[in-house]
Structure 1
Amino acid sequence: MRIMRTIAALCLTLASSVASADIYGYVDSDGSAHFSTEKLDERYQLFVRGSAPFDSSQLPQPTPDSGKAPLSDTLSRHPNLKKYEPLLNEAAQEFSLDPALLKAVMAAESGFNPGAVSPKGAIGLMQVMPATAERYGLQGDRKKTIEQKLADPKTNIRLAARYLRDLHKLFPFRPELVIASYNAGERAVQKHNNSVPPYPETRGYVQIVKQLYQLYKPAAEKLAVAAFSDAASGARRIHMTLPGRRSMPAPSLE
């Protein structure tokens, strides 16, 4: 019961703290989803506006002859989301987190790609840095390096969930700071007087994760029974474009 009360409280807090930035996106001819906090070119269409609650019925729908799935379907029905959902739910229960938050972070971090590796060395579905994993006791050995261990979806998801749990403890009922810390590091948030750091990447990341949370929260029950056809199992990718990424300093782990 205590775990359920914690999850419920976090859900209400995050749901009441809706993002204020417009989110734009499109699905390309290969079925890959792209989204951003800015309309980068004519392909990007409004995904959700400002502080409006997420409502998939209001999203632009594809034309009958376009052959493209709407962006909301690509995000909510991605085959890897169903594949890794048991691990997400297990980690969410263990660390008293909302599964919708883990899904939102996974979508934003890797687009559900378990082999993703960032230029800074973040690894896997939840883009966990090796240094962060070491803080939680993960070590390389003769059989596998720490990077190889982090590539395992179960290890990756569990470490990310544990980190998010600790961030919730550090910033109780401040979900925007939890999300910002996951992107920029908790030291950066503390350095800026417990507020979202003024880094364009981090601010865009917070807005997108919060809107993705709105997408996954109402869809949570449907995802458990959604049917995934053979066609849906193709190599669809989700691409995050965050304006100002180059101005983002490396997270501090000191």
Structure 2
Amino acid sequence: MSLFWKESDERGHPSLGTVMRGVVLLAFLLGGWLPSSWANQVWEFVDGEGVTHIGNVPPSAATRGVIWLSRVPPASVVKGKDRGPSALQFPGYDDVKQHLEAAAVAQSLDPAFVIAVAAAESAFNVKAVSRKGALGLMQVMPATAERYGVAARPSSDGEHAAMEPKVNAQIGTRYLADLLRMFDGDKELALAAYNAGEGAVIKYGRRIPPYPETQQYVEKVMRFYRGLLR
């Protein structure tokens, strides 16, 4: 059974596949060919319109010419518990681990939870910028950065100050901590708010909004989080 869907989010943060365009790991997998040993894996690719698709079967001829990105192992059920893929499979983790862990400790959060968010948001790509302007490692919006005292500053490369990995980790983690407090420690509601905005969660009675993109985002982060706790 094919499992294809569109990925984006309500506040303009990119999906994992979108931000990984610059980290094409398997560019030689063109034209719908997959080794038989990978037939049961889940894959992501970005089509010509910039839409991210995910599937668990080889692509049809209609996708010929599409560049495949990273392999994402499927979640498996072990003793009744959903065990997801490890967020540590993505390149760049070793470079940002210290920033994510330090930011988590500073906000009294579980480092694994913060790492899972960063994995879902950018796959640890510190240069990721969404089409709507979400920035860096944890894909923070400029307005969110300014809320926590980080405004844009001129630089030789023209980057926003929030693109610096350590600063980005701090901003995203502070926002995540505030959302957890707002929603009484409920991780899934905090994730939904991180993705779609706190207003959307409140609008729908402090529940995950009925947006497929947001629901998929929450599920993805929680799979990564459970994978890190194994």
TM-score between both structures, scaled by the size of structure 2: 0.66
- Aligned residue type for 1:195: R
Q: CA contact under 8 A between 1:179 and 1:206: conserved in structure 2?
A: yes
Question: How many Å separate the matches in 2 of 1:146 and 1:94?
Answer: 29
Partner of 2:15: none
CA 1:79–1:42: 2 relative to 1, 3 Å: closer
Residue in 1 that maps onto 2:55: 40
Listed as ranges, the gaps of 5+ residues in structure 1 are: 1-26, 57-71, 219-254
Determine which of 55, 77, 81 is the counterpart of 1:53.
81
Partner amino acid, structure 2, of 1:42: V
Q: Distance in 2 between matches of 1:197 and 1:109?
A: 18
- Aligned pairs (5 A) from 1:111-190: 111-143=123-155, 147-190=159-202
The number of equivalent residue pairs is 175
1:202 and 2:214 matched: yes
Shift in alpha-carbon separation, 1:206–1:142, aligned structure 2, 3 A: closer
Q: CA deviation at 1:28?
A: 6.7
**Aligned CA distance change for structure 1 residues 205 and 55 (closer, same or farther; 3 Å):** closer
Higher relative contact order (CA 8 A, sep 6+): 1
Please, which of 211, 224, 246 is the counterpart of residue 223 of structure 2?
Answer: 211
Q: For residue 194 of structure 2, what is the amino acid of its counterpart?
A: Y
What is the rounded CA distance, in whole Å, between the counterparts of 2:54 and 2:151 in structure 1?
A: 42
CA 31–190 in structure 1, closer or farther in 2 if over 3 Å, else same: farther
Aligned CA RMSD, in angstroms, stands at 3.2
- Cα offset, 1:102, TM superposition: 1.1
CA contact (8 A) 1:76 1:215 kept: no
Tell me which residue corresponds to 1:106: 118
What 5-or-longer segments of structure 2 have no aligned partner?
A: 1-23, 30-41, 46-52, 59-70
Q: Is the 8 A contact 1:39 1:45 kept in 2?
A: no
CA deviation digits over 1:17-67, x for unaligned, max 9? Answer: xxxxxxxxxx9735998459x9635148871157943447xxxxxxxxxxx
| SS in structure 1 at match of 2:92 | helix
CA gap of 1:159–1:145, structure 2 versus 1, over 3 A, is: farther
Give the 5 Å matches for 1:76-87.
76-87=88-99
User: Are the equivalent residues in 2 in contact too, given 1:53–1:214 (CA < 8 A)?
Assistant: no
Identity across matched positions, percent = 39
User: 1:169/1:31 Cα in 2 relative to 1: closer, same or farther (>3 Å)?
Assistant: farther
Q: Which amino acid aligns with 1:29?
A: L
Note closer, same or farther for the CA distance 1:142–1:118 as it changes in structure 2 (3 Å cut): closer
Task: Give the match's secondary structure for 1:76.
Answer: helix
Corresponding residue number in structure 2 for 1:3: none
Rate the CA distance shift 1:105–1:83 in 2: closer, same or farther, 3 A: same
**Secondary structure at 1:182 match in 2:** helix
Letter matched to residue 157 of structure 1: A
Residues 122 and 142 from structure 1, CA distance in 2 versus in 1: closer, same or farther, beyond 3 angstroms? Answer: closer
CA contact (8 A) 2:201 2:209 kept: yes
Following TM superposition, by how much is the alpha carbon of 1:141 offset from its aligned partner in structure 2, in angstroms? 3.8
